[in-house]
Amino acid sequence: MNPGNTGDEHNTFCNAVPQMAGTFKALGDLTRLQIIYLLSTDTSGTLGVSDLAARLGISQPAVSQHLKTLKNEGLVESRREGFYIYYTVNRERMVEFREHFEQMYTSVMEKCSREMIRKTTRDRPIRACVIFYSYSGITRRVAEGIRNASGCDLVEVRTKKPYTWLNLFPTGVMRARRQACDPIEPGTIDVSGYDLLIIGTPVWTGKPTPAINAAVRALTGCEGKMAVVFITYLNCPGEALEILSRALADRGVRVMAEISLDEKDTKNPDAGSELLRKIIAADPLRGMDDGITERNLNVT
């Protein structure tokens, strides 16, 4: 795996850090964090300086000073009702802060993943490819996270006739139950130039999607290749991993690791890098060096 240079990611990271510095400074005080907590857990919307002072056990001038700092950073807003001023958390600012933090976290973790790759590839490049189908975008985000962290190639499988929410269940899900194949693009997927295949799909009623079923059949040059398969699911993984691994084995592919990602896993902004960590921990390319027989690993 050869991580590429990602200038856009670097710029995003650099732009986010200055915007976050003031917020970190404002929140880097126990009393101000306590104020944020009190405001966020209040259901009345009528917390003023005197109420906060009483709950915190400090003077009103001290509370006012802390509120001024939080307001300057946009974390807290106020409204006047008669003689009283009430304070609330600024939701929009908190959402923006979260987005910036997740950008920084993802950027940092991708760099950590690249270092992890450098330490584990034994001084030789690994040619890897992620082949995936995504309906809602969840599997795509995981696959792109792997690509961003490792620099590997990405092949997105698309159905020639996209599913809509109207025909997903009566058509797509029922076809998944029958383990059918959809007409897809690209119609042929040449993997002869890769050492490792990473194949991902959502789970529909416990089965792989018809698009990824077709993708397995569309592989060329896959005999003897090693692969990792992963699934994303909301409720139950069902038989999806077993079915997908068996289909690949029938094509002569050695499935070295099987990984399930549930809703909690996929909500992680670093889901792609975390999946990459599990893949590296499973050492799917061990067979290239020692010629061992096929062995499947289940990674949860």
Indicate if 270 and 180 belong to the same structural domain: yes
Q: For residues 55 and 90, give the distance between their C-alpha atoms in angstroms, rounded to a whole number.
A: 21
Using CB atoms within 10 Å of the CB of residue 77, give its burial: 0 to 12 exposed, 13 to 18 middle, 19+ buried: middle
Q: For residues 32 and 63, give the distance between their C-alpha atoms in angstroms, rounded to a whole number.
A: 9
Q: For residues 230 and 241, give the distance between their C-alpha atoms in angstroms, rounded to a whole number.
A: 7
Indicate if 290 and 163 belong to the same structural domain: yes
Indicate if 160 and 221 belong to the same structural domain: yes
pTM recorded for the entire structure = 0.67
The pair of three-digit structure tokens given for residue 236, joined into one six-digit string: 């139950």
Q: For residues 249 and 255, give the distance between their C-alpha atoms in angstroms, rounded to a whole number.
A: 7
- Please, what is the Cα angle at 221 between 231 and 123, to 5 degrees? 75
Indicate if 137 and 273 belong to the same structural domain: yes
**What is the pLDDT of the chain when averaged over all its residues?**
87
The answer to whether 197 and 131 have CB atoms below 8 angstroms apart is: yes
Residue 17 lies in a domain: yes
Q: How confident is the model at residue 32 (pLDDT cuts 50, 70, 90)?
A: very high
What's the average model confidence in pLDDT over 236-255?
96
Q: How many folded domains does the chain comprise?
A: 2
Indicate if 172 and 278 belong to the same structural domain: yes
Residue 178 lies in a domain: yes
Residue 51 lies in a domain: yes
Indicate if 250 and 143 belong to the same structural domain: yes
The answer to whether 226 and 253 have CB atoms below 8 angstroms apart is: yes
What's the average model confidence in pLDDT over 192-210?
96
| Cβ-proximal residues to 14 (8 Å cutoff; 6+ apart), any chain | none
Share of the chain above pLDDT 70, in %: 85
What's the average model confidence in pLDDT over 269-294?
70
> pLDDT value at position 291?
46
> pLDDT value at position 207?
97
Indicate if 209 and 127 belong to the same structural domain: yes
Determine the structural domain holding residue 258 and report its residue range: 122-299
Indicate if 54 and 165 belong to the same structural domain: no
The pair of three-digit structure tokens given for residue 80, joined into one six-digit string: 């006047």
Comparing 47-51, 120-124, 134-138, 163-167, the range with the smallest average pLDDT is 120-124
Q: How confident is the model at residue 222 (pLDDT cuts 50, 70, 90)?
A: very high
Indicate if 181 and 285 belong to the same structural domain: yes
The CATH number of whichever domain residue 52 belongs to comes to: 1.10.10.10
> pLDDT value at position 104?
80
> pLDDT value at position 121?
56
> pLDDT value at position 1?
54
Residue 100 lies in a domain: no
Using CB atoms within 10 Å of the CB of residue 93, give its burial: 0 to 12 exposed, 13 to 18 middle, 19+ buried: middle
What's the average model confidence in pLDDT over 69-88?
94
Indicate if 40 and 156 belong to the same structural domain: no
Indicate if 74 and 167 belong to the same structural domain: no
Indicate if 149 and 37 belong to the same structural domain: no
Last residue of a domain, one of 93, 111, 146: 93
Could you read off the pLDDT of 88-128 as tens digits, one per residue?
999 999 998 888 888 787 777 777 766 666 666 555 567 89
* The amino acid at 50: S
CA distances from 298 to 15, 153, 195, 228, 230 (A): 40, 24, 20, 10, 10
